[in-house]
């Protein structure tokens, strides 16, 4: 009797183990069929025991040593630590072609070229007019001059001949083609002209700074640097304001140099109009230039014909230059505040409309709050207006970067066609809800799905309909079953209220239906999932789901057919052994379930 009992227990245990294995295998096969991206646990590589790290004699693993210990070099009797960046510098290879639109290294190089160009533009007039260049310091001036010439030369030989260009829609990276394109360009002619070796006349006429005036002709590098820098700055209008101010300061700088030259030509202190030679000559002349160009007045009257003509030209130039600078500054500031101006215009028009129709003050305050929060949180009133001008592919790339991580976590869409998800991302619409705004109400027809981008929403329920059932945070999704449910299953089962300011993405049902027309397989899969999600809950939990909540409750796997056949055969034989008792137990469990 005891032997029979032991054998029955062993058989029962073995059969239960077989049932468990059959269930696990069935679950894996079903997951594989539903979501092809799911990988099997058996495919995960197992670490080999032989590959385990061997402890070092000191007790530490070799991988635990700091990476800096590898960089040493021995010299005579001492050991010096070699910095890793030196190795990177030694192994660095200059690129064979440079993309002038996206390469930050090229923008940095243009900065040095522009600095050399500014040295020539600002210092050549000063050295020509003022007595700041003397035989005692001439070697310092010449050292910086020829350093700037070296930068010009490197720009011609190394950088400009490696710039990529577009020809017939193709990006040309061939060395010979890039070099020929530069040699045929207007840029090359100006670069050669600005490096004319007029310095050779130094041996005949002395070191005259005016002989370096052609160095100022490299203005094309300056404008290119402006375009590249504005493209990478987040607030480019600040740089534009600084640049416009620099234009004004440079015009005053040149005028001060001309005034000192005119004073020296007439004779310092010879009349009341000229510079009298006292104090700092550059500061005094710059002050005079400011009063003249801005036409402040209060200047001494010119005495000679030369002084009168010079002053008239100064006045005409000042009026023209100052008006141009003011106009350009107005354009820069206007472009920087264009968005703010549009926002104020829309808000003023809305307030005027509400006042005309005598809208209650509480509603008007909520509308004003919506305008202010939407503008400060997004920097615009409608995000879709910003992307209208972009090609469809670029809009998709932006939508993937912004929304894909959130949408991919929605259980309803897992396993669907990837391209269908991409098409769906472009249909998402951003909406801002104010505190205590109802996102959806209980009993209303659900025609959209919601994804929380920022903020929180609360699901309300209970006898009074005001108890907080759950609070959903950024990244949560609710209302997805309503997109596919039918037969009354698309009614909301709870109130959802914004807790504070909430920014939500909305996908409408009609948009999803338009997309699913092109993806029949995904449509079938979504309908199956929606039915299972409705069956698994008497109350649909689509208003409560979040990225961390299990939205799909997998049904219990059926008993394998082979095991059913074994049980049926046992029943026909009228056996009352372990198999029959196990069969009765399964029936009882099924009834309870």
- In DSSP terms, 114 is beta-bridged to none
Q: How far apart are CA 588 and CA 590, in angstroms?
A: 5
CATH architecture of 234-381: Orthogonal Bundle (1.10)
Domain ranges in the chain?
92-232, 234-381, 390-538
Query: Which superfamily is assigned to 390-538 in CATH?
Result: Jelly Rolls (2.60.120.10)
* Structure-token pair, residue 415: 């396993």
DSSP secondary structure letters along 486-504: -TTTTB--SEEEEEEEEEE
Neighbours of 193 (CB within 10 A): 11
User: 471 CB contacts (<8 Å, ≥6 apart)?
Assistant: 456, 457, 458, 459, 499
Q: Which DSSP symbol is given to 445?
A: B
Q: Could you tell me where the beta strands, DSSP code E, fall in 82-217?
A: 165-167, 170-172
The kind and range of the H/E element at 585 are helix 578-592
Q: How far apart are CA 471 and CA 405, in angstroms?
A: 21
* Structure-token pair, residue 440: 């959806």
| Strand bridging mode 78-81 / 429-433 | unpaired
Please list the pLDDT of the chain residue by residue as tens digits (593 residues).
566 667 777 788 888 888 888 888 777 776 666 554 444 444 333 344 434 444 444 444 444 444 444 555 554 455 555 566 666 667 777 888 999 988 999 999 999 999 999 999 999 999 999 999 999 999 999 999 999 999 999 999 999 999 999 888 888 899 999 999 999 999 999 999 999 999 999 999 989 999 999 999 999 999 999 999 998 988 888 899 899 999 999 999 999 999 999 999 999 988 889 998 888 999 999 999 988 887 777 788 888 999 999 989 988 888 888 888 888 888 888 887 887 888 888 889 999 999 998 899 989 998 888 888 888 777 777 666 666 777 878 878 887 887 777 777 777 778 888 888 888 888 888 888 888 889 988 888 888 888 888 889 999 988 887 888 899 988 788 887 777 665 555 778 788 999 888 888 888 888 888 888 888 888 888 888 877 777 765 444 444 444 444 333 344 556 666 666 655 655 555 555 566 666 677 777 676 65
* Structure-token pair, residue 468: 């907080």
Q: Which DSSP symbol is given to 163?
A: B
Largest CA distance in the chain: 140
Q: How far apart are CA 144 and CA 140, in angstroms?
A: 7
Contact 416, 525 (CB under 8 A): yes
């Amino acid at each position: 009797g005891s032997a029979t009992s032991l054998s029955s227990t062993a058989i029962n245990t073995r059969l239960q183990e077989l049932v468990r294995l059959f269930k696990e295998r069935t679950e894996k096969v079903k997951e594989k069929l539903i979501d092809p991206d799911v990988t099997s646990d058996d495919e995960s590589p197992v670490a080999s025991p032989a590959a385990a790290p061997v402890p070092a004699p000191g007790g530490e693993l070799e991988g635990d040593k700091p990476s800096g210990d590898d960089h040493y070099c021995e010299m005579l009797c001492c050991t010096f630590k070699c910095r890793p960046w030196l190795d990177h510098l030694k192994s660095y290879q200059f690129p064979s072609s440079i993309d002038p639109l996206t390469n930050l290294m090229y923008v940095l190089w243009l900065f040095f070229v522009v600095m050399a160009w500014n040295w020539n533009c600002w210092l050549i007039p000063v050295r020509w007019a003022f007595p700041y260049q003397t035989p005692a310091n001439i070697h310092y001036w010449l050292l910086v001059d020829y350093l700037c010439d070296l930068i010009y030369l490197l720009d011609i030989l190394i950088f400009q001949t490696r710039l990529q260009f577009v020809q017939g829609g193709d990006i040309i990276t061939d060395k010979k083609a890039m070099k020929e394109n530069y040699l045929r360009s207007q840029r090359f002619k100006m670069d050669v002209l600005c490096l004319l070796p007029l310095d050779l006349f130094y041996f005949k006429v002395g070191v005259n700074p005016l002989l370096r005036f052609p160095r100022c002709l490299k203005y094309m590098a300056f404008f290119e640097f402006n375009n590249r820098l504005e493209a990478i700055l987040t607030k480019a209008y600040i740089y534009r304001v600084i640049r416009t101010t620099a234009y004004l300061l440079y015009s005053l700088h040149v005028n001060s140099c001309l005034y000192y030259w005119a004073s020296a030509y007439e004779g310092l202190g010879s009349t009341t109009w000229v510079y009298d030679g006292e104090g700092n000559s550059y500061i005094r002349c710059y002050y005079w230039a400011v009063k003249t160009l801005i036409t402040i007045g209060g200047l001494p009257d010119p005495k000679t014909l030369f002084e009168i003509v010079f002053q008239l030209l100064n006045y005409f130039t000042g009026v023209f230059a100052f008006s141009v600078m003011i106009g350009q500054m107005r354009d820069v500031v206007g472009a920087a505040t264009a968005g703010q101006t549009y926002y104020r215009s829309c808000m003023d028009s809305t307030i005027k409309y509400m006042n005309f129709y005598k809208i209650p003050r509480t509603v008007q305050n909520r509308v004003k709050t919506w305008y202010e929060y939407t503008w400060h949180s997004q920097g615009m009133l409608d995000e879709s207006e910003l992307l209208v001008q972009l090609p469809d592919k670029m809009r998709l790339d932006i939508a993937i970067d912004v929304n894909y991580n959130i949408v991919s976590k929605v259980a309803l869409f897992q396993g669907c066609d990837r391209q269908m998800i991409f098409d769906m991302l472009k249909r998402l619409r951003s909406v801002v809800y104010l505190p205590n705004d109802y996102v959806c109400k209980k009993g209303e027809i659900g025609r959209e799905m919601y994804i929380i981008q920022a903020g929180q929403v609360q699901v309300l329920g209970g006898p009074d309909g005001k108890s907080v059932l759950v609070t959903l945070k950024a990244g949560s999704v609710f209302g997805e079953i309503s997109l596919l449910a039918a037969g009354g299953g698309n009614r909301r089962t709870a109130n959802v209220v914004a807790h504070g300011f909430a920014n939500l993405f909305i996908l409408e049902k009609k948009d999803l239906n338009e997309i699913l027309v092109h993806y029949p397989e995904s449509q079938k899969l979504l309908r199956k999932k929606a039915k299972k999600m409705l069956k698994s809950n008497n109350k649909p939990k689509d208003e409560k789901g979040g990225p961390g909540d299990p939205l799909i409750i997998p049904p219990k796997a059926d008993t394998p057919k082979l095991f059913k056949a074994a049980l049926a055969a046992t029943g026909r034989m009228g056996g009352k052994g372990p198999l029959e008792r196990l069969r009765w137990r399964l029936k009882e469990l099924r009834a309870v379930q």
